[in-house]
Chain A
Amino acid sequence: MRVLVLYLLLGCSLSAFGKTWVVDQNGKLNSIKSTIAHSADGDTIRIMKGIYKEGNLLIQKSIVVIGIDYPVLDGENKYEIFTIAANDVSIIGLRMINTGVGSINDISAINAIESKRLKVINNQFQNTFFGIHLSNCWGSLVEGNLLHSDTEAEHQIGNGIHAWKCDSLTIRRNKVSGHRDGIYFEFVTNSLVENNFSHHNMRYGLHFMFSHNDEYRSNIFQNNGAGVAVMYTKHVKMISNRFEDNWGSSSYGLLLKDIGDADIQLNHFGRNTVAVYMEGSSRCHFTQNIFSGNGWAVKMQANCDENIYSKNSFLSNTFDMATNGSLVLNTVDSNYWDKYEGYDLDNDKVGDVPYHPVSLYSMVVEKMPAAVMLWRSFLVYMLDRTEKVVPSITPENLVDLHPAMRNYDYSF
């Protein structure tokens, strides 16, 4: 709300340089389309409450469009609502519903092409095919938007916030649900994604590829069909995010595929089938994260190397770590493992006996998923015990040499 007022003020101050148009269904000026046509760079268009069915609106001027009391722009299941091909455009406080659905075209509520400094603020999107679609944009701000779709079939729904070949974006405080991917980045660099809430999307809460040097902070990714998947990217920072309740055989709290030099800190991974799945990733640094109540906290394929897991907390996970090979080129050190049963005679709060996070049975389940049904049976207990005494199958060098005796107190 405060932000809204701020931008209203901002809009007023801008109007000092341009003209302000008021579109009202009951007034003389009742068409947005014609108002846009008459407006000039630097103008502001205020849209009063009402339902506007004007098909596609093309913006080729640097104008500010502000909705008062959320006027509804209806795409009548046929049209793309805004097509933006100009710099310094702002879209604020509108409610956009029912765009068309396309199998070839990415029909969107807001489609920006080669636009600089676009601002999309405090809008509502209901049943739009794509919500906000940015291509070749620079310096865009997408903030405080609410995107939701009720569509049930995956092929009838696009992504919530979709960006392709962009740079320096800020995606902040948006709520996305019911879309295919909540937030989708492809070739997006130097961008910041923070405080978003992406949940109950059909596929991924967050999905990015080839998007280097981006930062993800304090987002919540919850209950998405397949969790979060990030691929082919270098130098990503993921800090203080929550990855929660992603359940299913191909659902991951965070899937990393060919990710390099990522910094993953202070995140909370809770109740996922697999909290972190890593494939072909290198030099990722996981530190001070909490993994709690997951089926598998970490599944690391053997083609990962030089990754570091340190000072994380592993709590009530069914399996702490699993891997599919015996060669391990990663470091696991100084984590807290609630399954650790060692002792600390010298009282330095570091366990005197190393901890092996990969249990025999987790490797069995890796090969034969049905075997998970026997977990916690006496037979399995004995198998795991035997393996601890005489390790033969589990990778011997995947070991935490300095397991913490007490849980780290990360309160976030």
Chain B
Amino acid sequence: MIKIAKYILYDILRNRFVMLYTLFLLVVTFSMFSLDSDPGKATLSLLNIILLVVPLVSIIFTTIHFYNSYEFIELLLAQPVSRKTIYFAEYFSISMALATAYIVGVAIPMLLLNFSESSFYLIIAGLLLTFVFVALAFAASVSTRDKAKAIGVALLFWFYFTLIYDGLILYVIYSFSDYPLDKVTLAMVSLNPIDLARIIILLKLDLSALMGYTGAFYKNFFGSSVGVIYSVLFLLVWALAPLLLAMRRFVRKDI
């Protein structure tokens, strides 16, 4: 797998779009930290942008790249390698390329400008979101042959997880506000990778407010490192589940 991946990774890293993405992240990170004298506030502003941009770029770029590599994948399929190998090489190289962009654009400047626990968690959250949304893009891409349709599905994923799903949660909370909702809310939030990534940061920056909500269950969940571990694990599930489902489809797919 690495044999193929290293060539594809090299190609994507030189891709103009990936370079622009890196540059954009760099500019945003630097401007946030230079405009704001308070690094905590800068981290927060950066969080808002990362939660929005990282999933969007990851899912759209991956989908477009997948279709642009269709003929190349065909050529690879004519070689003596298994489909799984090709599939994982593609996933590995795209997610690594985008992760590299993120590391160069956000992680390294943050470590230089303001190394704190919350910066560290922000970096982890962004990386995990990258892996999740590249996987979701693969799921969208293998489900149809139509590029436009796949991009539509990918955008819909993004829009759903960014906005619609949270709206639904708010609606449920509003409708059932007379009932104890702590476990329900937690379960609902776990079904949205962007929310999970957000909660990792929330646990660092807004723990005192989270503690105001309900009783012992949350206190245990949030108060210890259980909350962070839970979120990270669930994000990994969110990356692996679509990745493996899409792989099953890819292996049986007619190219």
Contacts and interface: CB of A to CB of B under 8 A. Distances in A.
Answer whether A and B touch in the complex at a CB cut-off of 8 Å. Answer: yes
Given A374-B166, A379-B167, A295 B195 contact: no
A381 interface: yes
Could you say which of A274, A315, A316 has the most chain B C-beta atoms within 10 Å of its C-beta?
A316
A376 interface: yes
Contacts of B162: 378
A376 B208 contact: no
B41 A248 contact: no
Interface in A85-137: none
B213 A372 contact: yes
The interface size bin for chain B is 35 or more
Interface in A30-86: none
A379 B209 contact: no
A369 interface: yes
Nearest to A339: B41
A373 interface: yes
B206 A375 contact: yes
B30 to A, nearest CB: 20
Contacts of B40: 316
Nearest to A272: B208
Contacts of B223: 247
B166 A367 contact: no
The interface size bin for chain A is 20 to 34
B212 A296 contact: yes
A376 B48 CA distance: 7
B254 to A, nearest CB: 38
B44 A376 contact: yes
Interface string B213-251: 111000100010000000000000000000000000000
Nearest to B162: A378
B214 A368 contact: no
B37 to A, nearest CB: 9
Interface stretch (B19-27, B101-109, B135-143, B178-186): B178-186
B8 interface: no
A376 B206 CA distance: 10
Nearest to A362: B209
Contacts of A394: none
Contacts of A375: 202, 206, 209
Contacts of B202: 375-376
B124 interface: no
Interface string B183-199: 01110010000110011
B127 interface: no
B47 interface: yes
B155 to A, nearest CB: 15
Given A338-B41, A373-B199, A379 B170 contact: yes
Nearest to B176: A370
B18 to A, nearest CB: 24
A374 B167 CA distance: 9
Given A318-B209, A378-B52, A370 B215 contact: no
Contacts of A294: 208-209
A296 B209 contact: yes
Contact of A378 (B38, B166, B174, B207): B166
Could you say which of B166, B210, B212, B223 has the most chain A C-beta atoms within 10 Å of its C-beta?
B212
B219 A248 contact: yes
A262 to B, nearest CB: 24
B113 interface: no
Contact of B185 (A249, A296, A373): A373
A10 to B, nearest CB: 46
A247 B212 CA distance: 7
Contact of A377 (B166, B185, B219): B166
A318 B163 contact: no
Contact of A379 (B38, B163, B185, B186): B163
Interface string A257-292: 000000000000001111000000000000000000
Given A376-B198, A376-B202, A377-B166, A368 B177 contact: yes
A371 interface: yes
B215 A295 contact: no
A37 to B, nearest CB: 52
B190 to A, nearest CB: 11
B173 interface: yes
A51 B225 CA distance: 45
A369 B212 CA distance: 8
A205 interface: no
Contacts of A315: 38
A294 B195 CA distance: 22
A247 B166 contact: no
B40 to A, nearest CB: 5
A381 B50 CA distance: 14
Contact of B208 (A295, A367, A369): A295
Interface in A301-339: 315-316, 318-319, 338
B177 to A, nearest CB: 5
Contact of A372 (B41, B177, B209): B209
Given A273-B209, A274-B212, A295-B209, 17 more contacts: A247-B208, A249-B213, A249-B214, A249-B215, A296-B209, A316-B38, A318-B208, A338-B41, A373-B186, A374-B169, A374-B170, A375-B206, A375-B209, A376-B44, A377-B198, A378-B52, A378-B162
5 contacts: A249-B211, A271-B208, A373-B169, A373-B186, A376-B48
The 5 A-B residue pairs whose C-beta atoms are closest, nearest first, are A295-B209, A318-B209, A295-B208, A273-B212, A247-B211
